[in-house]
Amino acid sequence: MTFAEVVNIVDGQVLGGRSGLHKTLQRFVIGAMKMEAMMRYVEPGNLLIVGNRYQVHRLALEAGAAVLITGGFGTNEEIIQYANEQSLPIITTSYDTFTVASMINRAIYDQLIKKEIVIVEDILIPLNETYFLTTDNMVERWHQLNAKTSHSRYPVVNHEMQVQGMVAAKDILSMKESTPVEKVMTKEPITVHATMSLASAAHVMVWEGIELLPVVDDEARLVGVISRQDVLKALQMAQRQPHVGDTLDDVVTRQVEEAPTGTVYDYVCHLTPQMTNPIGMISYGVLSTLITEVGSRLLRRHKRGDVVVENLSLYFLKPVQIESKIEMKGKILEVSRKSGKVDVELYSSDELVGKGLMTAQLLER
Say whether both 15 and 86 belong to one domain. Answer: yes
Asked if residue 349 belongs to a domain, the reply is yes
User: What is the Cα–Cα distance from 168 to 161, expressed in whole angstroms?
Assistant: 19
Helices 228-240 and 198-208, axial angle in degrees (round to 10): 140
What pairing do the DSSP bridges indicate for beta strands 27-30 and 46-50? Answer: parallel
The domain tally of the chain equals 3
Q: In which domain, by residue range, is 41 found?
A: 3-115
Does a structural domain hold residue 242? no
Same domain, 174 and 262: no
Poorest-pLDDT segment among 246-260, 282-296, 329-343: 246-260
Same domain for 11 and 84, yes or no, is yes
Which pTM was predicted?
A: 0.49
Kindly state whether residues 258 and 354 are assigned to the same domain: yes
Distance CA 252, CA 3 (A): 33
Report the pLDDT value the prediction gives residue 90, as an integer from 0 to 100: 94
**Whole-angstrom Cα Rg for the chain:** 28
Asked whether residue 253 falls in the same domain as residue 228, the answer is: no
**From CA 331, how far away is CA 329, in angstroms rounded?**
7
Same domain as 142, residue 47:
no
Q: Are residues 305 and 288 in the same domain?
A: yes
- Show which of 209, 237, 265 is a domain's final residue: 237
CATH number of the domain at 194, please. Answer: 3.10.580.10
CB 151 within 8 A of CB 131: yes
d(CA 97, CA 296) in angstroms, rounded, equals 43
- Answer yes or no: is 243 within a domain: no
How far is residue 121's CA from residue 112's CA, in Å, rounded to a whole number? Answer: 18
Per the domain annotation, does 217 fall within a domain? yes
What pLDDT is stored for residue 239 in this prediction?
57
For the stretch 46-101, pLDDT in tens is 999 998 889 999 999 999 999 999 999 999 999 999 999 999 999 999 998 888 88
Under the banding of pLDDT at 50, 70 and 90, the label for residue 36 is confident
- Residue 113 pLDDT > 60, yes or no? no
Considering the domain architecture, whether residues 227 and 284 belong to the same structural domain is answered as no
- Residue 171: inside a domain: yes
Q: How far is CA 234 from CA 116, 227, 229, 295, in A?
A: 12, 11, 9, 23
**Statement to judge: residues 257 and 356 lie in one domain:** yes
For residue 100, give the CATH number of its domain: 3.40.1390.20
Single residue among 95, 115, 135 that ends a domain in this structure: 115
Domain end (from 115, 140, 167): 115
Q: Does residue 147 lie within any of the structural domains? A: yes
Give the Cα-Cα-Cα angle 23, 98, 246 (nearest 5 degrees): 75
